[in-house]
Structure 1
């Protein structure tokens, strides 16, 4: 594996500046292209799975986090409040309280559940400088977050489906988990005690833990239980990864929460006509975009799967005579949705340009013969060469191969 901090800067994916601050990286064009492809992929996967995309502000009143429990249990990891007249505003450490308010803003029937709200939104953590590490641990992150509001009898299926989405995403991204962890409260946890790390009651916690054990069993994955690692509001499944130095970190998660629905007074009208309390399932398919990108860089070494590559097709004219044809090919490729560019003839010999662009999944060489015939000769990243074929046919094939579905089907 590669160190994403070094390689990411060498490839022009991301960087940082002291004037912006530690733990606050910025994305360069190549990195932004990969990030956009990943975000678009997530949005489509969620849409197909019945999620509804929402947006919420990154600021809220301190009172919101007092109700959710974050202020009492998580304050040390939050930024200090900002005084705005008689109010105090806080940069959010989590998105879940906002989604709870969205749910509460409308009345709901049991027929509407599960209600799945997703958001790619900013979160902020007051990390100490010594804890910051490239993209793996930052102070401002974009989280692929979602909250499912459902009936108790729907919880297991919803959590299982969320875990299945995570595993599908990992396969499409070409990464794999190092292990699965069921994070539980400490064995001596004192529920209901204001001084305790945890909110809620022992029975709700035990029920939630049993539900997650059922989910892991049905998924057929080996897992380890980790007492003391639960969120303050409930147990969770953490999917662990390893970085280039062998350090382990959590990327994706599925969490059960009985506390916040009660804290915010969330309700739905059941089939019996009475009011009932929904359960809140927290889930993140790829966790934070920053951590996901760090893992992608380290695992693939810059040679991303075709659907994620910052440049999917590089067109190489052999000489200046083919420059205009090459430019037209790139325009056609871009119109089809591909990320394509020309490696111009005056930028070096053909061999040098091929080596310089070796991380691109596809290279198309255009000589006098190809230009005259309206054809492209494709070279794949692994060195495999294909005979020249009509430009439209070649571009259509690259479009098909530059999709997550092509990863699942083996091309």
Structure 2
């Protein structure tokens, strides 16, 4: 059973330091590669799906979160305000108020022809988590969230939410993530939730329609909704069987109302948009933690921190091996040299056991422009021309799926 807290440190992906504080891990170079590759993947997937990317500040005035409803319903999970002169500013607990303001910046002139407007951001948010629940990358205080908000007409809401669910399914297939179940998260009792029964009924009915049209089995869960509306949660499980939410899709009538968001309809009148919240792979922290545990550190070739390690048998092959690494880097691959200074060839091969591709360069290989290929799964395709090897690796990485060698 793989535990990302142990394995992530052994693999040099992340670590913590008491001077930074609990729940504030830092990313080491190999972990940063995995995270950066995930970020590039999801940005490109969103771009192809019609999203426009933005950046917004990690701070907001307290009044912003009072307007959004976070201050009344979510302040226990927020960091205390910081005073700047006569103002109080807060580390944001969520990106949605900022995106509502971005939409509102042109709310008076937005036309129905601009909708759906899909705004995406990979941005930081902060949660004041109790020390007792913090651990590894799954429960942290600084969260890098793959977030997006779709502003659309009521008639578009189901299609947009269903498309978001489809985007999540495609990402899971590419990443090798298995969804444990889909959950329709509904409100519970108490003052945690916005008191507007009609709002909840409308949003819940639409999400049921999304789930039914998507053909996925789902279960209802009371007390798991966001404070402003119901949501679809895509649940994952870790090797110990513990369940967590990775991805979400929400339909929100509350914040468009609170921010008085509008668009001009075909009839020339002003109408209120619907706000669809969605996160394809959730936070970078939780996504990487799950991928470490799911793959045991043996990441898919396209996601691996190092895709190719080049191993010269002896000092005489050092220069040809360096040339292979330079060629691989020039082709956009992540490659490293593991020379004799790191020990015997057998020891270097064992140390690189999680790297998808190993290229051993001996006397014959260096003379003939070949590489003796070893795959992570134990296969040895034999000596291959260096150019062919690099082309194969690039093709497998670009495909994001399939065996290491076909």
Counterpart secondary structure, 1:72 = helix
Counterpart secondary structure, 1:118 = strand
Asked if structure 2 preserves the Cα contact closer than 8 Å seen for 1:171 and 1:408, the reply is: no
Q: Which one is further off, 1-10 or 135-144?
A: 1-10
Query: Aligned partners of 1:398, 1:266: CA distance in 2, in Å?
Result: 49
Compared CA separation, residues 393 and 290, structure 1 to 2 (3 A): same
Counterpart in the other structure of 1:287 = 282
Correspondence 1:32 to 2:27: no
Counterpart secondary structure, 2:88 = strand
Counterpart secondary structure, 1:403 = helix
Counterpart in the other structure of 2:5 = 5
Alpha-carbon RMSD: 1.5
TM-fit CA distance, 1:200: 5.5
Compared CA separation, residues 141 and 268, structure 1 to 2 (3 A): same
Correspondence 1:374 to 2:369: yes
For normalisation by structure 2, the TM-score amounts to: 0.97
Length, aligned pairs only:
404
Compared CA separation, residues 404 and 252, structure 1 to 2 (3 A): farther
Query: Aligned partners of 1:84, 1:204: CA distance in 2, in Å?
Result: 36
Asked if structure 2 preserves the Cα contact closer than 8 Å seen for 1:306 and 1:403, the reply is: no
Show CA shifts across 1:354-373 (max 9, x none).
11101000011111111111
Query: Aligned partners of 1:325, 1:69: CA distance in 2, in Å?
Result: 62
Query: Aligned partners of 1:403, 1:206: CA distance in 2, in Å?
Result: 44
Query: Aligned partners of 2:55, 2:375: CA distance in 1, in Å?
Result: 40
TM-fit CA distance, 1:14: 0.5
Query: Aligned partners of 1:13, 1:368: CA distance in 2, in Å?
Result: 35
Query: Aligned partners of 2:398, 2:293: CA distance in 1, in Å?
Result: 21
Compared CA separation, residues 63 and 241, structure 1 to 2 (3 A): same
TM-fit CA distance, 1:286: 0.6
Query: Aligned partners of 1:303, 1:387: CA distance in 2, in Å?
Result: 22
Matches within 5 A, 1:105-184: 105-106=105-106, 107-184=109-186
Query: Aligned partners of 2:49, 2:145: CA distance in 1, in Å?
Result: 18
Asked if structure 2 preserves the Cα contact closer than 8 Å seen for 1:4 and 1:295, the reply is: yes
Counterpart secondary structure, 1:388 = strand
Show CA shifts across 1:304-336 (max 9, x none).
111111100000111111111111111111111
Query: Aligned partners of 2:330, 2:228: CA distance in 1, in Å?
Result: 48
Query: Aligned partners of 1:61, 1:263: CA distance in 2, in Å?
Result: 16
Counterpart secondary structure, 1:127 = coil
Asked if structure 1 preserves the Cα contact closer than 8 Å seen for 2:61 and 2:89, the reply is: yes
Correspondence 1:246 to 2:241: yes
Q: Unaligned stretches of 5+ in structure 2?
A: none
TM-fit CA distance, 1:387: 2.8
